[in-house]
Structure 1
Amino acid sequence: MSTPRTLRLHDADNVIIAVDSVSRGVELAGGVSARAAIPRGHKVANQSIPAGQPIRKFGQVIGFAKGDIAAGDWVHEHNVVLHDFERDYAFASEATPDTGLLPGESAATFQGFRRADGRVGTRNYIGILSSVNCSATVVDFIADEVNRSGILKDYPNIDGVVPFTHGTGCGMGSKGEEFDILARTQWGYASHPNFAAVLVIGLGCEVFQIPRLRDMYGIVEGPHFQSLTIQETGGTRRSIAAGVARIKEMLPFANASVRETVPASELTLALQCGGSDGYSGLTANPALGSAVDLLVRHGGTAILSETPEIFGAEHLLTRRAESEEVGRKIVDLIEWWTRYAARTGGELNNNPSPGNKAGGLTTILEKSLGAVAKGGTSTLRGVYRYAERIDRKGFVYMDTPGYDPVAATGQVAGGANMLCFTTGRGSAYGCKPTPSIKLATNSDLFSRMEEDMDLNCGDILDGVSIEEKGREIFRLVLDIASGARSKSELLGYGRNEFVPWQIGAVM
């Protein structure tokens, strides 16, 4: 019988990772005998850990021993606790120049849609946005009627007509942070380079008024942007008819867009992880980080987000910040989220989810350390508010919740024209208008959910290098940016994943 595979990730670690399931009594590499059955992806103490002492993985603290832990013990939530400890932020101490292309390396390109404002899209949709939940049904009916009519077959350059509805827009404050977030999100989508044209539909009496949006952003209506309200148009049926007519008028304009060769520097890649497991920080996340470093070297942009899921690993980002000012913004976000969670009776330590724990993640610190690996090693160039337009190249950070649809909505509103999503438990997700590429952390998941997963990163555990997998991810990003369909696109995902962050009181 072969010895189950294990990994020790850092010389300072006092736990090893069970790559395979481990039976009680089995001797593992290093001479440690398992004192319990250990599920795959979970942790085993490779030495005695006295009560109260730190538990280390990735060379970092992920928790503290609740009681004495013997070598060979299963290390999980039954014997691990969290409490505060000092972190060394060492602002900008590890920032390095982004050196650009290596000698002899060719500049990467893809086939994209160059828009009038100079930005580049990877898709060519017409979007229909609701300003308020009260207009959501009309928005859906307009999209359904256009898509069922068969008219799109006459416009082959258009990827589809897609509705984007949400649950807010009224019963909210007319000024302040909550309103500003919705305004940034709506305008971020309305002006997104993956749309050739957009129609915005309101009820008419809501707090989030379309004329106010136009005034805030200097929007001039034309073939690329139209709006109407149900009350002014004369009710549901007339609004559906008027909306369909507007879309038909937009079709020739949208179809005139064609793909052209553009540099990879025009890519803005959103980074997400969901349904994480004990393999996430070993395979898919660091491989995606390697692809991010490649993209940055080619002049592109990558957005790391999900502030509650960098908690405990924020010091790794502050060290990579280009300046102390940028690094302190990360710390300010952590402090804001700590207060925000306390106001609602929660705590950031409530993470990981039950599925994360079943997959081997014990604490939010452990989860965060693995999640940050998606960001590679490039210097942190900027920190942005939710849905704020990303205006810098390189590796950047956007403040979002950890809930994937809300986080990705903010990243797309900020300009992400591609998205990579790592998952270990299996996440069913898509993200129109931005293609979402699913990266499986383990081979078992990939084989079970192959229709949903675009790429298997589990073979890293079999000897494929992080760098090789990173190059594979980068090539896949370029292919899908050029028009190849991701698995979630083939399945039709993306219609229901527009979820703006509702941060304030519902009144």
Structure 2
Amino acid sequence: MSKRGNAVRVLRLNASDDVLIAMQELRAGTHVPEEGLTMADTVPAGHKIAARDIASGEPVRRYNQIIGFATRAIPRGGHIHLHNLSMQDFERDYAFCADRKPEHTPGCKTDLLLNFDGIVREDGSVATRNYIGVISSVNCSATVCRQIAEAFRGEALAGYPNIDGVVAITHKSGCGMASNGEGIDLLRRVTAGYIRHPNFAAVLFIGLGCESNQVSSLLGAENLSESARLRTMTIQESGGTRATIERGIALVKELLPAANQVKREPVPLRYLTIGLQCGGSDGYSGITANPALGAAMDLLVQHGGTAILSETPEIYGAEHLLTRRAVSREVGEKLVSRIKWWEAYTSRLGGEMNNNPSPGNKAGGLTTILEKSLGAVAKAGTSNLADVFEYAQPVTTRGLVFMDTPGYDPVSATGQVAGGANMICFTTGRGSVYGCKPSPSLKLATNSPMYHRMREDMDINCGDILDGGLTVQESGEQIFRLIIETASGRPSKSEEHGFGEDEFAPWILGPTM
């Protein structure tokens, strides 16, 4: 690092890198003696500076990995960004299992907490929250679901202190689609994942009656049936909107007493499944919050827990770092097959994988999807890749796993929760606001200025790594402790703001008819 006084001015991430990271805005002509260069351009904070003269067509490395190719000559001290760096095809060495670690025994010795206070359900699953869900099969029943849930706001649950709320889970699909095939199978898998989710003590599932996504068909396809914790109804059979709302409120009232009969008790961390997300990323995401979250996930995996890395378009170009850690060639090839599916999918729709980063990411200093992906993969820590799952599939393997999802955070996190994630950890550099009931969501800020500006939305500041207050490992341990506290009932900032119902967003495949 190079400093002026106590302020870090530039950061070199790897001795072999072609770039330095500006830790503050550096004006053209500024001399950086520690690196022996003079700024050729003005470079904003978080953006990249050429550490050497780079010829047109040469690969450019950050994290000692290729992030793109120079589209013109870049002088030492020059600004590297959209105007002079672009994507280009190149070979990646997947080296399946080359970096696989020896198997470890969960429950390593540590001075950190080993349990959290969870809610053990009758089937042995463990909840971090205790909600009642009102779930729609189709957009046509969304208003009814919301109005039923609204009846239990305020003091309506005062007599039920162990219930965290009544949550409406609604969406924009369920009809105008084929009644069989990949599209509706995926919607049913997502919905069933929420119905089964341990964070719901009970669920009321409501349809219209004539939609493609029929209530009875979903139950049959997903091997679900009505029970003491699952009740169903349709608007058409119930006599219309008002009658359905009244009947729905009465059914929820019937579910409340049993849902309230829970208590938290210490359970091992192996019952924690964490969905990993990053959104509104910046040039610091891969330096602070993402590797700190990775350090926390290494601790979780050591204790038998599960971390779900996702957002396939946002690990594109960095997938070789995961295939090298796969527990078997079969697992590594499952990941590569999902990458190839995405290449074909985007090509078929006239897009490209480098449509990401988003405008906000680019403003924060990220230039190509390769650069963003290398930072995003850091959330996975250093554990072996134990398995690969398709979108919203039940996650049945402990350890670090991958779930194929889009990069759009609400759609991605919806798949993770449907797969069993009972918490989300979400890193952000620009300041994303997000929650995803029934699972609490923790927001990890990558830099201190944004954290202090948005501290009512951010749960933890990983910018302390840049400020010199914490190492990545220390920040990871801080995150790990906060995960345990939140899983034990401490509200997250997004929960305090009421986020989490409108963010349910199943991945829609196939045409809308």
* TM-score with structure 1 setting the length: 0.98
**TM-aligned CA deviation for residue 194 of structure 1:** 0.4
Q: CA deviation at 1:106?
A: 6.6
Contact 1:223 1:253 in 2 (8 A): no
The amino acid across from 1:382 in the alignment is D
Secondary structure of 2:416's counterpart equals: helix
Residue 144 of structure 2 is matched in structure 1 by 138
Taking the aligned partners of 1:103 and 1:140, their CA distance within structure 2 comes to 47
Distance 1:310 1:176 in 2: 28
Inter-partner Cα distance in structure 1 for 2:326 and 2:23: 33
- Select 1:184's aligned residue among 189, 193, 198: 189
Give 2:436's aligned residue: 431
The residue number in structure 2 matching 1:66 is: 71
Aligned position for 1:12: 16
- After superposition, residues 385-400 of structure 1 pair within 5 angstroms as 385-400=390-405
User: For 1:210 and 1:476, how far apart are their aligned partners in 2?
Assistant: 39
Aligned to 1:158: 163
CA distance in 1: counterparts of 2:501 and 2:223, whole angstroms? 28
Task: After TM superposition, give the deviation of residue 104 of structure 1 in Å.
Answer: 5.8
1:83 to 2:88 alignment: yes
1:102 CA displacement: 3.5
Question: Aligned equivalents of 1:286 and 1:354: distance in 2?
Answer: 23
Quick one: distance in 2 between partners of 1:185 and 1:35?
52
1:43 matched to which residue of 2? 48
124-133 vs 25-34, which deviates more? 25-34
Whether the aligned pair in 1 keeps the contact of 2:113 and 2:481 (CA below 8 Å) is: no
Partner of residue 287 from structure 2, selected from 275, 282, 290? 282
CA distance in 2 between counterparts of 1:136 and 1:83 reads 45
Shift in alpha-carbon separation, 1:104–1:461, aligned structure 2, 3 A: closer
Mapped partners of 1:215, 1:136: distance in 2: 22
Deviation, structure 1 residue 82: 1.2
Check whether the contact 1:98–1:378 (CA below 8 A) recurs between aligned residues. Answer: no
**Where does residue 412 of structure 1 map in the other structure?**
417
**CA 1:166–1:6: 2 relative to 1, 3 Å:** same
Q: Contact 1:196–1:257 (CA<8 Å) still a contact in 2?
A: no
For residues 263 and 358 of structure 1, what CA distance do their matches in structure 2 show?
42
Please list, as runs of the form range in 1=range in 2, the aligned pairs for 1:40-439 lying within 5 A after superposition: 40-99=45-104, 100-103=106-109, 108-148=114-154, 150-439=155-444
CA distance in 1, matches of 2:415, 2:26: 41
The CA deviation at 1:39 is 0.4
Amino acid in structure 2 at the alignment position of 1:147: R
The answer to whether the 8 Å contact 2:47/2:364 transfers is yes
Counterpart of 1:242 in 2: which secondary structure? helix
* Matched AA of 1:371: A
Matching residue of 1:498: 504
Q: Cα 1:120–1:4, aligned 2, differ >3 Å: closer, same or farther?
A: closer
In structure 2, what is the Cα distance between the partners aligned to 1:116 and 1:192?
Answer: 13
Gaps of 5+ in 2: none
Q: Residues 92-134 of structure 1, C-alpha deviation per residue, up to 9 Å, x if partnerless?
A: 1111134234446576101111011111000000000000000
Are 1:187 and 1:413, in contact at CA under 8 Å, matched by a contact in 2? yes
User: Residues 311-339 of structure 1: CA distance to partner in whole angstroms, max 9, x if unpaired?
Assistant: 11010111111011100111111110011
Counterpart-to-counterpart distance in 2, 1:482 and 1:102? 21
Residue 25 (structure 2) pairs with residue 21 (structure 1): yes
Contact 1:288–1:374, Cα closer than 8 Å, also in 2? yes
Are 2:188 and 2:222, in contact at CA under 8 Å, matched by a contact in 1? no
Q: Distance in 1 between matches of 2:81 and 2:492?
A: 36
Cα distance in 2 for partners of 1:217, 1:25 equals 65
* Aligned equivalent of 1:31: 36
Residue 147 of structure 1 deviates from its aligned partner by 2.1
2: CA distance, partners of 1:218 / 1:48? 62
Structure 2 Cα separation of the partners of residues 111 and 88 of structure 1: 43
Q: Given the two structures, how large is their TM-score scaled by the length of structure 2?
A: 0.97
Q: Is the 8 A contact 2:278 2:426 kept in 1?
A: yes
- Pick one of 457, 468, 474 that aligns with 1:468: 474
Deviation at 1:21, TM superposition (A): 1.4
Partners of 2:112 and 2:481 within 8 A in 1 = no
Other structure's SS at 2:206 match: strand
Kept after mapping to 1: 8 A contact 2:313/2:342: yes
Instruction: Give the Cα separation in 2 of the matches to 1:103 and 1:252.
Output: 41
| 8 Å contact kept, 2:119–2:129 | yes
Matched AA of 1:86: E
CA shift for structure 1 position 488: 0.4
2:108–2:303 Cα contact (<8 Å) kept: no
1:488 is matched with 494
Alpha-carbon distance change, 106 to 492 in structure 1, aligned in 2, over 3 angstroms: closer
Q: Secondary structure at the match of 2:217?
A: helix
Q: CA deviation at 1:16?
A: 0.5
Shift of 1:503: 1.3
- Choose 24-33 or 3-12, whichever is displaced more: 3-12
Paired amino acid for 1:484: R
Distance between the aligned counterparts of 1:117 and 1:11, measured in 2? 52
Native 8 Å contact 1:386 1:400 kept in 2: yes
Task: Say whether the 8 Å CA contact 2:189–2:222 is kept in structure 1.
Answer: no
Give the count of matched residue pairs. 506
Name the Cα RMSD after superposition. Answer: 1.1
C-alpha deviation, 1:497, in angstroms: 0.4
Q: Could you tell which deviates more after superposition, 157-166 or 137-146?
A: 137-146
- For 2:219 and 2:82, the matched residues in 1 are separated by 51
Query: 3-state DSSP class of the match of 1:146?
Result: coil
1:220 shift after superposition: 2.7
AA of the residue aligned to 1:8: R
Quick check: 1:4–1:21 contact (8 Å CA) kept in 2?
no
**1:7 deviation in Å?**
1.0
- Distance in 2 separating the partners of 1:497 and 1:223: 27
Equivalent pair of 1:280/1:422 in contact (CA under 8 Å): yes
AA aligned opposite 1:477 = I
Corresponding letter in the other structure for 1:214: L
Contact 1:107/1:264 (<8 A) preserved:
no
CA contact (8 A) 1:101 1:107 kept: no
